[in-house]
Structure 1
Amino acid sequence: MTDSLGQSQVISYLEKIAKKGVDYHLISFEKPEVFEKKRPLVEARIKDSSIVWHPLPYTKKPPVLSTLKDINRGWAKIKELQKEAPFDIVHCRGYIAAILGQRMKKHWNTRFIFDMRGWWPDEKLESGFWNSPVYKPVYAYFKSLERQFFKSSDVTVSLTYAGKDEIVSKGWKGADGIGVIPTCVDFSIFRAFSEDTRTKVRTALKIPLNAKVLLYSGSLGGNYKLEDFVEVYKAFRAVAPEGYFLILSKTEPEPVLQFLEQSGVDKAHIVITSADYNEVYQYIHASDVGLIIYSITYSVIGRSPTKLGEYWAGGIPAISLKGVGDLDLIMDKYPQGGILVNSLNQEELKDAFSKLLNSELVDREYLRASAIDYFDVRMGVEFYVGIYNKLCEQTI
């Protein structure tokens, strides 16, 4: 919960759902290096709610064995809590949590929600993290578990309709047992565009007020290949010779800058920094176009880029490859939201940037309204409350 995604995609939901009469016990695994620093932020947000937080230490090494250790630690906590008051529903965000959720269903017939958050085993394989032959049985194991989760869960939640279609077409679960909700945005945190904020951030980063700025917010490496960033940046600079590339990421900046410089791009116009979750909107205001970039592999059917709704909330359009999750459908519905390209071909990218950087075509109010229409966290709240109510009725 001390990670940005934990705060944006878990706490933002739970604190609002809790107000509707839901009592939560939240078990999470926290990275020791950030836990003590960010713990007060999480505790402050849930202080007056019906959320009881049980943070456990996350262990990363050695691979596989550390995960087994965390699973055992999580199960011990669940058994301890179950003695106090049996749970109606276990809501599992991701595959590791679903191992525990499936076990709860088996032992106590707890209603089990498999909130898959993308096709995790395939993401690990395609990113290169599980490329070693050592991980071949690990991948096979989790793919077999995935089928079990589909079958045993009372509800499976997919971030995309493309992911739901895949599950149904393969016969892994019926359509009635699958819900779809994209990654949502809390608009009380991601504020409407402000010229004053734009000026303040650009001044602090030493970016000229009249320069065009391409923003990337998110992770680097793995499925986010630096070679792809080079191609995009080259096309951007061809259209905006004095433009800047602003990268907002927790990734160590020096290796990234070194790679980009070795690839022949102008390091002087690249700014890499990081920000807390509640500060990200300021950097969006300071930018002109938001970048979404994934390697187009099998797992992208489950991708729902959090950053799209955040970019739109701050009034900037996005550029991305076609074929990522539901982006094609979303851009058809909101045609002023950005441009999807077929490939990272320089001419196609330059044509896209020529259109996106034309400020006369950017309607910030339209973009924010589109974000609220499709990505509002309140819709996510109603979605989950509806599932909880249905499952509790079935229990009765």
Structure 2
Amino acid sequence: MSKIKVLYLSYTGLLEPLGRSQILAYLSRLTDEYQFTIISFEKAEDLAKSDELQALKKECEHYGINWQPKTYHHKPRLLATLWDLSSLIYHTWQLSRSNRAHHIHCRSYIPAIAAWLVSKQTQVPFIFDMRALWLEEMIEAGRLNRHSPVHKVLEWLETKLLKDTAHVVSLTEAAVNYLQQQQPQLNTQKFSVITTCVDLERFKLSTVAIEDKKLGTMGTVISGWYHLDWLFLSLKTQLRKDKDATFKIVTRDSAQALRTMAQKYEIEPSKLEILSSSPNDIAKNIADIKAGLLYFTAGISKLGSAPTRLGEFLACGIPVIGNSGVGDMASLIERYQVGVVIEDGSQHAIDEALEKLDTLYQDKNLSQRCRDAAEDYFSADKGAVRYRQIYRSITSHEKR
């Protein structure tokens, strides 16, 4: 039986940690039924790592995936994005005409805009995999002014994408509820919630007992979306509780900038380990962290966020402290009892959260409960099943 051809468009690089965990982890599980062509936009510094580039190309070839990496442009921002969009439109047109793609899977807004424009001519259906509430994210980050001409155009485009797509995928229930409240006509649109997945074969429950109560985090923390001040206040507070405490941050962010911040909070360099990690080594590099700190800015934009690192920490049996107002994170922590929810970054709130964490440590089933939560909610296998159902529904609709 011939495989159904799917064109997968991503503005996130496949060479980035998110690319592997949120794209390849799913698609590799669907290649028995679908033939994928992936167009992704890669950062120049990632493309320069020839060994990693060749290794990923071979991995894609192993799964029968045709990966066509393009260079991501970021300056000047608007012109660079328009340049990348024009490239996407061209390649989407080339690969979707003449039955070379049965449908298009768009990861986020820029790819969805390209697929929407092309579909006007080719009639090839596309899936709008939103990932987040992008316009609200840009507004809160100060990159877009609400009610500006650019915002009005993008808002109009968002409405068109949501209306004309064959299916909408959201990371959270919170985002779906918000969209349907804002646009009641979307109540008839087909939505699915598929959260950020974790490859449970790579992120495994650690069998090594961790004696030190080492706090830490991973991923980007120097951004407008992470409360870096909450993080370092938590580390300082823990150090006050335990003078032997050590900390760890696994990130590609500037180590020098983080060291400067640590100095501001009177944290000695020897107490804080900062290291970069390849996607393949992340699980190994967080294995000695006793609890993960997930402090993200809250707001409308974050209703659509589902931090990948939450699922990855839990898959390794590591509990978390996470704040409310970020997608479904707080409700998941409470539902599965896998950590502590913090309301703000005040000294009182952090003191209370660390005390609750110490109480949680007494529960011998805590690590296994974290793993069970990951298997139940963040499994890449279950996510792939959901995507397969969506793909099949689109294919069956085309055959009618």
Same fold per superposition (TM over 0.5)? yes
User: Structure 2: which amino acid aligns with 1:373?
Assistant: D
Kindly indicate whether residue 149 of structure 2 is the aligned counterpart of residue 137 of structure 1. Answer: yes
**Deviation per CA, 1:24-43, whole angstroms, max 9, x where unpaired?**
11111111211142312321
Which residue in the other structure is 2:306 paired with?
A: 304
Which secondary structure state, in structure 1, belongs to the residue aligned with residue 34 of structure 2? coil
Which residue in the other structure is 1:331 paired with?
A: 333
Unaligned runs of 5+ in 2: 1-13
Answer yes or no: is the 8 Å Cα contact 2:194–2:383 preserved in 1.
yes
Determine the C-alpha separation between the residues in 2 that align with 1:87 and 1:394.
15
Answer yes or no: is the 8 Å Cα contact 1:292–1:320 preserved in 2.
yes
RMSD over equivalenced CA pairs, Å: 2.0
Answer yes or no: is the 8 Å Cα contact 1:338–1:356 preserved in 2.
yes
> Which deviates more, 281-290 or 360-369?
360-369
Answer yes or no: is the 8 Å Cα contact 1:239–1:354 preserved in 2.
no
Answer yes or no: is the 8 Å Cα contact 1:32–1:57 preserved in 2.
yes
Which secondary structure state, in structure 2, belongs to the residue aligned with residue 324 of structure 1? coil
Report deviation, 1:322.
1.5
Kindly indicate whether residue 16 of structure 2 is the aligned counterpart of residue 3 of structure 1. Answer: yes
Kindly indicate whether residue 57 of structure 2 is the aligned counterpart of residue 55 of structure 1. Answer: no
Determine the C-alpha separation between the residues in 2 that align with 1:151 and 1:41.
39
Kindly indicate whether residue 370 of structure 2 is the aligned counterpart of residue 367 of structure 1. Answer: yes
User: Structure 1: which amino acid aligns with 2:228?
Assistant: L
User: Structure 2: which amino acid aligns with 1:303?
Assistant: S
Answer yes or no: is the 8 Å Cα contact 1:289–1:357 preserved in 2.
no
User: Structure 2: which amino acid aligns with 1:364?
Assistant: S
Which residue in the other structure is 1:204 paired with?
A: none
Query: Please, what TM-score do these two structures have when normalized by structure 1?
Result: 0.90
User: Structure 1: which amino acid aligns with 2:181?
Assistant: S
CA pair 126-55 structure 1, distance change in 2 beyond 3 A: same
Q: Structure 1 vs Structure 2: percent identity of aligned residues?
A: 28
Report deviation, 1:68.
1.1
Kindly indicate whether residue 387 of structure 2 is the aligned counterpart of residue 387 of structure 1. Answer: no
Give the length in aligned residue pairs.
380
Which residue in the other structure is 1:201 paired with?
A: none
Which residue in the other structure is 1:108 paired with?
A: 122
CA pair 43-176 structure 1, distance change in 2 beyond 3 A: same
Report deviation, 1:225.
3.3
Which residue in the other structure is 1:320 paired with?
A: 322
Correspondence for 2:201 among 168, 184, 188: 188
Which residue in the other structure is 2:3 paired with?
A: none
Report deviation, 1:172.
5.1
Determine the C-alpha separation between the residues in 2 that align with 1:117 and 1:184.
12
**Deviation per CA, 1:138-175, whole angstroms, max 9, x where unpaired?**
33332222111111111111100000101111225125
Which residue in the other structure is 2:220 paired with?
A: 219
Answer yes or no: is the 8 Å Cα contact 2:291–2:319 preserved in 1.
yes
Determine the C-alpha separation between the residues in 1 that align with 2:88 and 2:339.
42
Unaligned runs of 5+ in 1: 199-208
**Deviation per CA, 1:272-300, whole angstroms, max 9, x where unpaired?**
11111121112322011011111112111
Answer yes or no: is the 8 Å Cα contact 1:150–1:172 preserved in 2.
no
Q: Which has the higher helix share?
A: 1
Determine the C-alpha separation between the residues in 2 that align with 1:382 and 1:112.
18
User: Structure 1: which amino acid aligns with 2:216?
Assistant: L
CA pair 172-4 structure 1, distance change in 2 beyond 3 A: farther
